[in-house]
Amino acid sequence: MENTHDSVPPPYVARPPPAQASSSSSSRYRTLPQPVTYIVWMSGKAFRSFTSHELPAILESTHKAFDPSIPTSSIRIITHFLHNNDGAWLHVGGSGDATMKVRYVRIVAEVPMVGNIRLSLERKQELMARIVTAVERYEGKKAKETEIDVVVREISSEDEHWVRRQVLS
């Protein structure tokens, strides 16, 4: 299935094919480094409204500790809340809609590869452990009751159909 411009969330734009790239468009845009993206899905019961810690800030500081070389502006955190009124539900086995019954957090970390260099298994496990610790810190005293899923994906820039660009004024 091919991506279309309409299906791409901002601030992403389609990368023009090399033959169609014009010099005027390249002067208007600056290609930015591939960001690290955290995609978070959280059930209504796992959401902590009475906490002094914000999950995005915790994930950001966790990743900065994991990789201090990355600029903070290249860390993206997208959060999806699983609530009935948003149409995003958590269905668990035969229990039906469990968005307010189950403490559930799923995080997918998309980490860009540098050239052909992949993260070692130890580095992936370290990042996963840091993410789990970050979620436990966010959940506080309810951490033991929270189901946490963590996935680390490595993204190659050659495999991407989209490129991040910033419009220059």
| Domain residue extents for the chain | 31-167
- pTM value surpassing 0.75: no
CB contact at 8 A, 121 and 164: no
Across the chain, what does the average pLDDT equal?
74
Tell me whether strands 29-31 and 162-167 are parallel, antiparallel or unpaired.
Answer: antiparallel
The DSSP symbol for 167 reads: E
Residue carrying the six token digits 């860009």? 112
* pLDDT score recorded for residue 15: 41
CB contact at 8 A, 142 and 48: yes
The rounded distance, in Å, linking the Cα atoms of 152 and 129 is 11
- Tell me: the pLDDT tens digits for 13-27? 334 444 444 444 455
- Stretches where the chain sits below pLDDT 70 are 1-34, 50-53, 84-91, 94-99, 115, 157-169
- Tell me: the pLDDT tens digits for 54-87? 888 899 999 999 988 888 888 989 888 877 566 6
The rounded distance, in Å, linking the Cα atoms of 14 and 77 is 21
| CA 154 to centroid of chain Cα atoms | 12
The rounded distance, in Å, linking the Cα atoms of 84 and 101 is 12
The DSSP symbol for 90 reads: -
Name the β-bridge partners of 42.
81, 105
Tokens of 68: 């201090």
Secondary structure of residue 64 in the 3-state scheme: helix
* pLDDT score recorded for residue 127: 93
* pLDDT score recorded for residue 164: 54
Amino acid letter, 145 = E
Name the β-bridge partners of 102.
none
Residue carrying the six token digits 């002094």? 52
Pick the CATH number of 31-167 from 3.30.1320.10, 3.30.1490.100, 3.30.429.10, 3.50.50.60: 3.30.429.10
